[in-house]
């Protein structure tokens, strides 16, 4: 057995002899296992629930009786965001963003029913998921197990004794690192099992899962290196523990939690109320697309009359009110899209700020990698909102065109005062069946990997820095006088 | 391990200068020890005894001069030089969670040396460690017992150079006598021994040469001669005189 493996074996043996270490490691492994099982079960449950609710609301929409098409525009439709398979490992912001959207005409609603609104406040601290345990708790265990790895030898005087047996500081550090990395690998085994399970699920893609696995292994290796580096650089084990706990508190607990606030301060986002008020002001200026005589739409009216070569809307071969609804929806949607684009642009700048903060914390980089690869980050949510809006616009415009084509202008105009006209303005329910259902198109695996790449690069840089610092730390250790 | 030192000396120090910042600790130290020779380096506090050992082990770099351990400069090749050295600090540090035997096995393993259980027990016996202590954790060992474990390790490693830092400090007279007998064993094996000590009597008992270190250099050297070996009174007079300014 080489000196390196002998040092690693002795370090592991020492950890095994410590009841506190063994219990702590066992607890964390059990936590990962429980987090894996509950997370997979939760993901499966949520996916089933959302699929069932989606089928239910689709059926309700399809089974609506004969109605005026614009009633259906306001009746609206619910859609649910399906969870990606890797959400079982890292649900990301799913609990915070809401997962159901009510789609209707003239409005662009936001998603609702996030878990944080229905669960204990503890959800805000962090759900018990494999990602949370690995990102937050695993580094803590690595710190407790490894802070004394080298500092203890120095404090006990065995460091010089070891060197006098002809072992180099590099070999000593590598041996301690091997021991700590072995424990980290033990912690990672149940988490990697969850990833293998996820990989076997329908719709799971190998690329993002492999990147997630590599990311977490890098993250644990990084913490192992940091712990050994600090342990080799300070005079006493107690100092090593204090320094490492400080580092953990700042980079794992504090920065990831204040990073969004810092990003929000750097790139302020108007509140929901402010946005709604401004939006409503602009909407009012757009006129009322329900009113065929609204002066805002006078130019549109003239264009339509010219297009069809008639002088009055009553002479049009189609229902002018339907055409007006199509135009009104186009205009309001443009407005909504502009607001949404501005909002996403600000969020993208906030994300860039978060990336910058990621340089200060490997946990932020790890979190961003994990969520991006899982498709549970802000970009994943934005993709859902984009598709939801595209679907809403298409659905509403189909209904508006039905109003234009299947309902006469006379009946439409008289329906509020004439019962027979009102009855005639209702169209057959088979039209509702003809409306397409919402099917979320998940991102391509390559897109997920590409989105996670900046955080992966950041994590590798984080790995590189302490790894490079090990060599000078070993040189300083070689010259140790006590 | 084979060493190729033209002089054949396990330890050769020539005109060694070591500074700690602005403070010159060793100032032109010359010292060489032959195989099988026991050299006692005496000196007052701050004379540079511990720094001499640290320089030999490669823990402090020389400002100038030369240190060679079996032909290897510890400053530039510390790992190679240390493989030729067994070091007994004043307070022997061992792994408290291991038994005496496991400590030996671990340190031997680290230095890539293999010894049978019988060889380890023979070394324990030679070092005077009681048999019931072989498989006991060293956590409860006295200073003398720890030294015996370290001596056993030195015996098992067959190194050309043994460095002892205040080896008899804190030992009772009988344990000191036992220890001195062990040094004889090391001499018979051909190991060179450099002993840094305050204990003039022990040095006079065992050392072939005694050097007095003062202000970073050897100011007087005595060689054991005749049945009485040394004039202890003269040695004591020299040892007790005021140190150089």
User: In the predicted model, is pLDDT for residue B5 greater than 70?
Assistant: no
Instruction: State the angle between helix axes of A138-146 and A237-248 in degrees (0 to 180), rounded to the nearest 10.
Output: 170
Q: Could you say which residues from 148 to 187 on chain B have a Cβ atom under 8 Å away from some Cβ of chain A?
A: 157
pLDDT in tens, A429-448: 888 888 888 889 999 999 99
pLDDT at B3: 46
Residue of A nearest to B84 (CA): A166
| pLDDT band (50, 70, 90) for residue A124 | very low
Alpha-carbon distance B151 to nearest alpha carbon in chain A (angstroms): 13
What is the token pair recorded at A443? 């991102």
| A206 close to B (CB below 8 A) | no
The pLDDT of A266-295, averaged and rounded, is 78
Confidence bin at B241 (pLDDT 50/70/90): low
Question: How is chain B split into domains, by residue range?
Answer: 35-54+78-240
- Assign B17 to helix, strand or coil: strand
Say if CB A410 and CB A421 are below 8 A apart.
Answer: yes
- Of B47 and A94, the structure prediction assigns the larger pLDDT to B47
Query: What is B94-117 written as a DSSP string?
Result: --TTSBHHHHHHHHHHHTT----H
Q: Specify whether the CB–CB gap between A84 and A64 falls below 8 A.
A: no
Contact A121/B at CB under 8 A: no
What mean pLDDT, rounded, does chain A reach? 87
What tens digit of pLDDT does each residue of A314-325 get?
A: 888 989 888 888
Report whether pLDDT(B50) > 50: yes
User: Residue A244 belongs to what domain range?
Assistant: 3-481
Q: What is the pLDDT of residue A480?
A: 54
pLDDT tens-place string over residues A29-53: 999 899 988 888 888 888 888 889 9
Q: Is B58 on the interface with A (CB under 8 A)?
A: yes
- pLDDT the model gives residue A111: 58
Mean pLDDT of A320-343: 86
Higher pLDDT, A235 or B175: A235
Confidence grade of residue B160 (pLDDT, cut at 50, 70, 90): very high
Among A103-107, A236-240, A292-296, A357-361, which range has the highest average pLDDT? A236-240
Q: Which of residues 93-152 of B touch A (CB under 8 A)?
A: 93-97, 106-112
- A417-to-A212, A318, A414, A421 alpha-carbon distances in Å: 63, 21, 6, 8
What ipTM did this prediction achieve?
Answer: 0.86
pLDDT value for A130: 92
State the best of B103, B110, B146, B150 to mutate against chain A, taking most chain A CBs within 10 Å. Answer: B110
Rg of chain B taking only CA atoms, in angstroms: 18
* pLDDT, mean over chain B: 86
Lowest average pLDDT, out of A216-225, A345-354, B156-165, goes to A345-354
Closest Cα in chain A to B102: A10
Using CA coordinates, name the residue in chain B closest to A477: B59
- Nearest CB to B59: which of A6, A14, A480? A480
Q: CB of A160 within 8 Å of any CB in chain B?
A: yes
pLDDT-derived band at A120, boundaries 50, 70, 90: very low
The pLDDT of residue A1 is: 73
Q: How many helices (H) and strands (E) does chain B have?
A: 8, 9
pLDDT at A482: 44
Nearest to A1 among B61, B86, B109 (CB): B109
Q: How many domains are contained in chain A?
A: 1
- For domain B35-54+78-240, the CATH architecture is 3-Layer(aba) Sandwich (3.40)
Distance CA A254, CA A267 (A): 20
Residue B132's pLDDT band (boundaries 50, 70, 90)? very high
With 60 as the cut, is the pLDDT of residue B245 above it?
no
Most confident of A119-133, B48-62, B170-184: B48-62
Interface test with B, best of A162, A166, A475, A477 (most B CBs within 10 A): A166
Contacts of A4 in chain B (CB under 8 A): none
What residues form DSSP beta bridges with B14? B66
Q: pTM for the complete prediction? A: 0.83
A164–B57 C-beta distance less than 8 A: yes
Residue B107: its chain A contacts at CB < 8 A?
Answer: 161-162, 165
Residue A293 or B21, more confident: B21
Name B211's bridge partners.
Answer: B41, B221
Q: Which residues of A touch B91 (CB under 8 A)?
A: 157
Residue B198 has a pLDDT of 83
Q: Do A10 and B106 touch (CB under 8 A)?
A: yes
- The 3-state secondary structure of chain A, one letter per residue: CCHHHHHHHHHHHHHHHCHHHHHHHHHHHHHHHHHHHHHHHHHHHHHHHHHHHHHHHHHHHHCCCCECHHHHHHHCEEEECCCCHHHHCCCCCHHHHCCEEEEECCECCCCECCHHHCCCHHHHCCCCCHHHHHHHHHHHHHHHHHCCCCHHHHHHCHHHHHHCCCCCHHHHHHHHHHHHHHHHHHHHHHHHHHHHHHHCCCCCCHHHHHHHHHHHHHHHHHHHHHHHHHHHHCCCHHHHHHHHHHHHHHHHHHHHHHHHHHHHHHCCCCCHHHHHHHHHHHHHHCCCCCCCCCHHHHHHHHHHHHHHCCCCHHHCCCCHHHHHHHHHHHHHHHHHHHHHHHHHHHHHHHHHHHHHHHCCCHHHHHHHHHHHHHCCCHHHHHHHHHHHHHHHHHHHHHHHHHHHHHCCHHHHHHCCCCHHHHHHCCECCHHHHHCCCCCCCCCCHHHHHHHHHHHHHHHHHHHHHHHHHHHHHHHHHHCCCC
- Looking at chain A from residue 17 to 56, which residues have their Cβ under 8 Å from any Cβ of chain B? 17
Tell me the percentage of chain A whose pLDDT exceeds 90.
37
């Amino acid at each position: 057995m080489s000196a390196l493996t002998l040092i690693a074996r002795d370090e592991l043996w020492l950890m095994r002899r410590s009841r506190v270490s063994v219990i702590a490691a066992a607890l964390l492994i059990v936590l990962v296992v429980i987090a894996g099982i509950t997370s997979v079960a939760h993901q499966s449950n949520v996916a089933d629930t959302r699929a069932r609710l989606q089928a239910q609301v689709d059926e309700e929409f399809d089974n609506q009786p004969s109605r005026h098409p614009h009633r259906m525009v306001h009746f609206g439709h619910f859609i649910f965001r399906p969870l990606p398979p890797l959400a079982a490992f890292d649900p990301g912001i799913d609990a915070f963003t809401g997962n159901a959207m009510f789609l209707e005409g003239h409005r662009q609603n936001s998603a609702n029913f996030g878990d944080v609104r229905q669960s204990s406040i503890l959800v805000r601290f962090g759900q018990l998921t494999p990602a949370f345990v690995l990102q937050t708790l695993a580094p803590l265990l690595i710190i407790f197990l490894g802070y004394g790895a080298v500092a203890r030898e120095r404090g006990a005087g065995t460091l010089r004794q070891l060197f006098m047996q002809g072992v180099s500081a590099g070999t000593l550090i590598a041996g301690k690192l091997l021991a700590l990395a072995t424990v980290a690998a033990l912690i990672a085994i149940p988490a990697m099992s969850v990833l293998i399970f996820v990989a076997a699920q329908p719709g799971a893609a190998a690329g993002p899962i492999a990147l997630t696995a590599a990311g977490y292994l890098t993250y644990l290796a990084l913490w192992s290196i940091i712990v050994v580096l600090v342990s080799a650089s300070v005079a006493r084990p107690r100092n090593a523990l204090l320094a490492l706990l400080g580092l953990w508190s700042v980079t794992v607990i504090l920065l990831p939690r204040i990073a969004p606030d810092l990003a929000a301060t750097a790139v302020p986002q108007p509140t929901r109320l402010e946005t709604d008020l401004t939006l409503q002001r602009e909407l009012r200026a757009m006129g009322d697309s329900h009113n065929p005589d609204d002066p805002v739409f006078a130019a549109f009216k003239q264009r339509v009359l010219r297009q069809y070569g008639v002088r009055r809307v009553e002479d049009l071969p189609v229902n002018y009110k339907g055409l007006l609804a199509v135009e009104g929806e186009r205009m309001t949607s443009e407005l909504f899209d502009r607001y949404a684009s501005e909002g996403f642009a600000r969020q993208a700048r906030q994300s860039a700020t978060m990336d910058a903060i990621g340089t200060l914390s490997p946990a932020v980089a790890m979190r961003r990698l994990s969520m991006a690869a899982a498709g549970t980050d802000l970009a994943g949510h934005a993709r859902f909102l984009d598709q939801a809006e595209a679907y809403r616009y298409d659905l509403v415009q189909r209904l508006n065109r039905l109003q234009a084509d299947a309902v006469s202008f006379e009946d439409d105009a008289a329906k509020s005062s004439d019962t027979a006209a009102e009855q005639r303005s209702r169209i057959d329910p088979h039209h509702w069946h003809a409306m397409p259902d919402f099917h979320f198109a998940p991102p391509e695996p390559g897109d997920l990997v590409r989105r996670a790449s900046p955080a992966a690069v950041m994590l590798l840089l984080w790995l590189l820095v302490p790894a490079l610092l090990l060599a000078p730390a070993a040189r300083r250790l070689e010259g140790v006088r006590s | 391990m084979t060493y190729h030192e033209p002089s054949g000396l396990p330890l050769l120090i020539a005109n060694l200068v070591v500074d700690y910042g602005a403070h010159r600790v060793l100032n032109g130290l010359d010292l060489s020890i032959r195989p099988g020779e026991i050299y006692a380096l005496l000196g007052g506090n701050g004379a540079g005894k511990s720094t001499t050992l640290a320089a030999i082990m490669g823990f402090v770099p020389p400002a100038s001069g030369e240190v060679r351990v079996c032909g290897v400069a510890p400053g530039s090749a510390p790992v190679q030089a240390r493989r030729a050295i067994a070091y007994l600090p004043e307070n022997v540090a061992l792994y408290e969670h291991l038994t005496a035997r496991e400590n030996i096995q671990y340190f031997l393993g680290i230095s890539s040396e293999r010894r049978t259980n019988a060889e380890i027990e023979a070394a324990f016996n030679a070092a005077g460690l009681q048999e019931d202590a072989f498989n006991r954790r060293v956590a409860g060992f006295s200073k003398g017992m720890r030294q015996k474990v370290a001596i056993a390790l030195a015996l098992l490693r067959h190194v050309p150079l043994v460095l002892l830092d205040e080896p008899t400090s804190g030992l009772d007279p009988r344990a000191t006598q036992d220890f001195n007998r062990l040094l004889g064993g090391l001499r018979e094996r051909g190991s060179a021994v450099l002993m840094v000590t305050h204990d003039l009597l022990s040095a006079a008992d065992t050392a072939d040469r005694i050097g007095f270190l003062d202000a970073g250099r050897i100011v007087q050297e005595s060689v054991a001669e005749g049945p009485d070996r040394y004039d202890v009174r003269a040695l004591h007079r020299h040892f007790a005189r005021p140190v150089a300014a």
